[in-house]
Structure 1
Amino acid sequence: MAPNANDESGRLPLCEAASRNQLETAALLLRYGADANAQQHDERRPLTEAAFRGSEEMVTLLLAHGADSNASGPAGGSALLWAVCADALKVVHQLLQAGCHVDAPSAEGRSPLLQAASSRWPRALAIAQLLIQYGADVNHADHFGRTALMNSAASGQVPMARLLLASGASPSARTNRGETAVVLACRAYQEHPEMIPLLAQYGASLNVRDQYGTEMLTLAASHGHAAAVEALLQFGCPVDGAPGTLLTPLQAAAREGRSAVVDILITHGADLDRQGDGGSESPLLESLLKHDNEIAKRLIEAGADVRQGGMSGAPPLHYALGRFDDWVYERSRPPKVNRSLIELLLEKGADPSEPLGLSPTALDLARKTRNTQLIGLIKAYLRRSKGLEATTSVLPPSYQ
């Protein structure tokens, strides 16, 4: 077979030798005329294969035989980009010394520094430092408008973000969808306590909104990022959101079951009953809809209005009794009712006799469940509220 001929699968012998780090085979092929810059049908080249393999010896051999360090490979990425993907620090240095373009982008505009900033490999930070030393553009954006700083903020890599900011990365840059590094940090899958303070230290605005109009405090609250919530409050973000907010931070935390964030917001004086302008329920009703009894109890004990109706007009007691749950109309399914929650609502002033327009009262809802214990609880409360003593035990201690 000729050294530059493809096999039956379309693969080049030199590419295969490079991908397997077979130095002797590669040297033999090159001696017999193999093209060090040949490209397979899948865009792979010998040098990109060697770089991704992390083989210094193979890279040295190919460069010595005229391999173009700036030639693009799979996905339009250069050998340098693929070396970064492989966390191959020595090969990265080798290619930079050979004159590889430090900002050579992939087909999506992703530069080697962007790749390093989004990587969690052990040598990613050292690679980023090396790229910056060789003049990498710290504000280079890909075709989606994402920069290296945004990638580090989104992945919670504080040392990487600190390096980029110290090297001149802009904390105010926006993606094509209008997202800043702060937005991506607040939305990150996993937060890091130091990220928001670090971005603020370098002048990042915390009074921004994402592409859906959500404020940063609400965004961090909905994702359960307690440290970010604390930081945003310390930097002056209003605890109830700015005027016109679609969803308050407390509503978001209650809706998503973020109990730690709920506690923080209550401690900072959040309005327990405020609803945003987005047509949503109060924090208490949001928690009741999700059957998050613990958050509901915290809100009630903190002073949430137990008689404030929702968008349908129904009071919290109706929500707690499952008025909006399918089980009310499915007799074969057990009720999702928590005794201590119902008792707390009644203790704080919920009125079980209050009708919802032409709809049933709380007692009527309890009757629909055919749960005699639940019916007894509400009847006993109604008797007590009228000054009458309950003559029998309403619920056994084990009922929850």
Structure 2
Amino acid sequence: MQTDEFLEAIQKGNLSKVNQLLETNPALANSKAKDGTSVIVLALYHGQRNIAEAITTEKTKLDIFEASTLGKLDRAKSLIDRNPSLASAYSPDGFALVALTAYLGQKETTEYLIGKGADVNAVARNTTGFTALTGAVANNHTEIAKLLVKRGAQVNYRYEGGFSPLMGASENGNVELVNFLLANGADPNARTGEGKSPMSFAKEKNHVEVVEALKRHGAL
């Protein structure tokens, strides 16, 4: 089926194939993955911003997930003005909208959604347990993570077997974010179900500066 071919091209980052298929069948821009995810959001999940933008040119109207994750704030505002509950919407694959914008680096949109009542600690309705903070940490969006904590995100939230935001920042070697989380109450000695700590993750990746930062805050 052409839809399957289109989805495969998106996931492989094949822009020329995507454009070719759209030229043949512009309606593919409205297609969705099997879990209901928009092809625009799917492209962003795979780090294919150029493909997401290419698909956007064939759509007359973006939905709230497409507009927000692309950072098309005017469109997102227009939709939320008409239906304020959209600020707290969940995607077809189970993520809070504010978690998606945080994960995909849309700081202005994330801040706007919080201002419109989105819960910074909303937990994914799928097996990941992701929140906006875990999403921002996962993709090293330091300024968004800081914004979320300042707006009440739980720094010691645990998900996926006891993993914490500090563990994520430590594993990524993001010393700025590690220091920020520690200064805002993150537990330096938290353990996963397998007994791993932020220090364990930092040492595994040889992040020397992170190891030193953790030691200064009493990590074992």
TM-score normalised by L of structure 1? 0.40
Shift of residue 142, structure 1, vs aligned partner: 1.1
Conservation of the 8 A alpha-carbon contact between 2:100 and 2:135: no
Stretches of 4+ moved more than 2 A in 1?
7-12, 15-22
Instruction: Pick from 60, 72, 84 the counterpart of residue 25 of structure 1.
Output: 60
**Residues 1:109 and 2:129 aligned together:** yes
Structure index of larger Rg: 1
2:87 aligned residue: 69
2:183 aligned residue: 166
1:87 aligned residue: 105
Instruction: Pick from 114, 133, 143 the counterpart of residue 126 of structure 1.
Output: 143
Conservation of the 8 A alpha-carbon contact between 2:29 and 2:56: no
Shift of residue 85, structure 1, vs aligned partner: 2.1
Question: Structure 2 matches for 1:119-268, cutoff 5 A?
Answer: 119-120=139-140, 124-188=141-205, 191-205=206-220
Specify the SS of the correspondent of 2:207.
coil
Partners of 2:199 and 2:93 in 1: how far apart? 29
Partners of 1:11 and 1:162 in 2: how far apart? 43
Question: Structure 2 matches for 1:361-400, cutoff 5 A?
Answer: none
Conservation of the 8 A alpha-carbon contact between 2:170 and 2:210: yes
Q: Please state which structure has a larger fraction of its residues in helix.
A: 2
Q: Once the two structures are superposed, what CA deviation does each residue of 1:151-185 show, in whole Å capped at 9, x if it has no partner?
A: 01111110010010001000111112111101111
TM-score normalised by L of structure 2? 0.70
Q: 1:48 to 1:199 in 2, by over 3 A?
A: same
Q: Once the two structures are superposed, what CA deviation does each residue of 1:79-138 show, in whole Å capped at 9, x if it has no partner?
A: 111111221111111111111110112221111111211223xxx111011101110000
Q: Once the two structures are superposed, what CA deviation does each residue of 1:227-256 show, in whole Å capped at 9, x if it has no partner?
A: xxxxxxxxxxxxxxxxxxxxxxxxxxxxxx
Conservation of the 8 A alpha-carbon contact between 1:146 and 1:175: yes
Q: 1:21 to 1:10 in 2, by over 3 A?
A: closer
Q: Once the two structures are superposed, what CA deviation does each residue of 1:8-41 show, in whole Å capped at 9, x if it has no partner?
A: 99848xx68997557x933xxxxxxxxxxxxxxx
Specify the SS of the correspondent of 1:179.
coil
Conservation of the 8 A alpha-carbon contact between 1:21 and 1:53: no
Partners of 1:186 and 1:16 in 2: how far apart? 38
Partners of 2:136 and 2:173 in 1: how far apart? 13
**RMSD over equivalenced CA pairs, Å:** 2.6
Partners of 1:185 and 1:57 in 2: how far apart? 40
Higher RCO, 1 vs 2 (CA within 8 Å, ≥6 residues apart): 2
Partners of 1:9 and 1:113 in 2: how far apart? 30
Partners of 1:173 and 1:150 in 2: how far apart? 8
Partners of 1:49 and 1:82 in 2: how far apart? 10
State the AA in 2 paired with 1:111. Answer: T
Partners of 1:160 and 1:116 in 2: how far apart? 10
Q: 1:174 to 1:69 in 2, by over 3 A?
A: same
Partners of 2:183 and 2:93 in 1: how far apart? 31
Partners of 2:169 and 2:160 in 1: how far apart? 17
What is the aligned length? 173
State the AA in 2 paired with 1:99. Answer: G
Percent identity of paired positions between Structure 1 and Structure 2: 25
Partners of 1:57 and 1:21 in 2: how far apart? 15
Q: 1:94 to 1:197 in 2, by over 3 A?
A: same
Partners of 1:8 and 1:53 in 2: how far apart? 18
In structure 1, list runs of 5 or more residues that go unmatched: 1-6, 27-44, 206-400
